[in-house]
Amino acid sequence: MSTINKTEQTPPTDRKSAAREAQPHGRSGRFWIQKLISTALLLGVGLTLIAATGVAQRMGWISSGGAGPVTSGEAATQIHTCPMHPQIRQPGPGNCPICGMTLVPATAGGGADTALLSVKIEPAARRLANIKTGKVKREPIITTIETIGAVAIDESRIVTIASYIDGRIERLFADYTGIVVKKDDHLAVVYSPELYSAQVEYLESRKVLTGRPSSLEAVRNAQEKLAVNSRQKLVELGMKEEQIAELEDTGEAKSRLTIYATAGGTVTEKLALEGKYIKTGEPIYRIADLSTVWLMLELYPEDASRIRFGQRVEAVMQSLPGQVFEGRVAFIDPTVNAKDRTVGVRVEFFNEDGRLRPGDYARAKIFLPIGQKGEVYDADLAGRWISPMHPQIIRDEPGECPICKMDLVPTSHYGYSDQPVEQPESTYVPRSAVLMAGSNSVVYVETEPGRFEIRSLTLGPILKDRIIILSGLKEGEDVATAGNFLIDSQMQLAGKPSLIDPTRAIIAQKERKEPLEFEDAQVETIAGKTGEQLQKLYDAYFSIQEGLTKDKKPSEENAKNLFNVASALLEAEDLPESAREEIKVIVEKSEHLHHMKIDKARLDAFRPISHSIVKLAAQVQGESSKEPFSQMFCPMVKGGGGDWLQATDKLQNPYFGSKMQTCGDVVRQFPIVGHATKNADGEHQHSTDKE
């Protein structure tokens, strides 16, 4: 039998407990130190990884994680708005409750658009908003004022036939209204005992003179005076020279007087009947000459202020549709009707054929050929003579009006030109293109497909369907004529200049980034003392310009020299008025030039002086000038308008000095004697400012 040795086995739990009990107490501190070291190492590695990731992102080795697609949760919380109604704002996409358009993110159309003065409109939004554009045009403008009125009798051609004596009407030849009579036609017969007595008195006084005259001179003179006075009494009682001559021939007094028409026309009123007793001065007929008639119009004061005497008018009568009658403005009421706030305007028409009847209604068009600033032009009236009472009477020479016998007056008396002038062209846009709020007026120009740029405008006359633009637009540009408010709302959402506050747009537009341009002018050579002063003016300017090039502030001597020479030139009588206007600017800006710091002197004084000196060089030079002047331009000048003049073509920038002495370009040269200017490429330029 084998013997098996058995080892006593202890349960695992008991072994661990025993080991813990057997472990010496001195190892517990070392254990915890090891634990702390491990934790610190792990933390250090983590911080190192984070720092390395940041460096890698900054160097561009890896991209940040925020560029991934937006989750549905983020999209649900993004604010959306309506392009047409920006007051509609809600989290998440949807449709506008007002117009039904699809809402867009609040930054859409502006967030990615970095242009300060423009906004991008996507094609889909453009179609939904019905955005339309039109061209900026430039051409002569003839506008019209349309109104209605009524035909009336020409009051200046109405006569009243009245009795010169007391008596009784025995017969009326013109016995109904509307009858046409001629001058000297007999109208009525009046019985008058007073007239009979006056005729007898005259005949008796004549008999005394034709019989044996008195030997006494005093008596004889009294008899002669009696005869003369008796005859004059008959004239005062209405007898014509022919009737008195008949009385003298026959020697028979009559108690009945025939009354004749003093003017031809139409009997408009019959004021007496046969058998009626009348008093001296009592009217019997009223006769109107209807060969000219008036059209009475009522206009608003703002329209009436644009009309002047002699303006051409066309009218269509209610009773004669399709027939156009032409007349001219004869009178403009100097007062405004307090009841209906209108101004009466009277138009005169010729009516030789009698087709125009007083009382008829008419539609009238008043034609206004106007200029850029509202001036009125009429080639038919320039340099001519017109009747002050009847504007239809227009002559090439002075004379007498055949109607009223008044002297004709020159049309210049009413504001027309002395010489025929061509109507100038005006820049205009459709009225719907301009957005106006208070004193602000803006338009949106499509500078490229889908991109609309805000422009602040200076407006001229506002017409029925057009607005004349004085500044802010150029011919041929495309402007938004419909959907403008959508574009403006997008500008507001993007925090850009808009109709509400176009201030930044106005400032940006004033910064001219192109050189001064000139057209259609000649450089005139001025001789004598004025020519010498002109050359001194240019030399004084060049001294200041060269000093600024070397970063030297204008000295008191140079500034006063420029001021004194410019002031003296203002007294010269042989300078054009346009040149005198530029010299006034030089005087104003040079007086305190030497008191300014150099940076302020460059922009606030030297820049406007340079603009005027360049414009002056494009017009006049002194006879002693031997070299052409060069116009320079730097587009980097703060605020724009970086033009200046140099005596040579070697560019030296006075606005930046040593910092950027050669920044800029040679634009053109101005010649010595009256030739067209030349630009840097040798092409001919002319000199009319277009700034």
Q: Report yes or no: 174 and 270 within 8 Å, Cβ to Cβ.
A: yes
Q: 132-140+425-509 with 292-414: one CATH topology?
A: no
Spans of the chain below 70 pLDDT: 1-29, 31-32, 35, 40, 42, 44-47, 49-77, 83-87, 98-101, 106-115, 211-215, 372-377, 421, 508-512, 519-521, 672-691
Using the structure block, give the residue that is written with the tokens 């003093």.
262
Q: Which one, of 489, 378, 374, lies nearest residue 121 by Cα?
A: 489
Q: How many CB atoms lie within 10 A of CB 366?
A: 24
**Nearest of 486, 505, 471, 511 to residue 136 by alpha carbon:** 471
Distance CA 347, CA 307 (A): 11
pLDDT given at position 412? 83
| Tokens of residue 513, six digits | 């980034």
Give CA 366 to chain center in angstroms: 19
CA atoms of 7 and 123, how far apart (whole Å): 95
**Domain-by-domain residue ranges, the chain?**
79-108, 132-140+425-509, 156-288, 292-414, 524-685
Across 205-226, b (16+ Cβ under 10 Å) vs e yields bbebeeeeeeeeeeeeeebeeb
Q: What is the pLDDT of residues 140-165, one digit of tens each?
A: 888 888 999 999 999 888 999 998 88
Range 437-454 burial, b when 16+ CB lie within 10 A, else e:
eeebbbbbbbeeeeebbb
The token pair at 166 is: 């007391």
pLDDT value at residue 51:
60
Any idea which residue has 């026959």 for tokens?
Answer: 250
Whether 385 contacts 411, CB under 8 Å:
yes
pLDDT at 112: 36
Nearest to 148 by CA among 342, 425, 283, 378: 342
**pLDDT for 281-339, tens place per residue?**
899 999 999 999 999 999 999 889 888 898 899 999 999 998 999 999 999 999 999 99
Buried-state track 235-267, b at ≥16 Cβ within 10 A, e below 16: eebbbeeebeeebeeeeebbeebbbbbeeebbb
Architecture of the domain delimited by 156-288: Beta Barrel (2.40)
pLDDT the model gives residue 573:
83
pLDDT for 288: 94
How big, in percent rounded to 5, are the helix, strand and coil portions of the chain?
A: 30, 25, 40
- Indicate the class that CATH gives domain 292-414: mainly beta
With helix as H, strand as E and coil as C, how does 298-357 read?
A: EECHHHHCCCCCCCEEEEEECCCCCCEEEEEEEEECCCCCCCCCCEEEEEEEECCCCCCC
pLDDT, residue 66, reads 38
CA dihedral 245, 247, 249, 251 (to 10 degrees): -160
pLDDT at 19: 42
CATH fold, domain 132-140+425-509, is 2.40.420
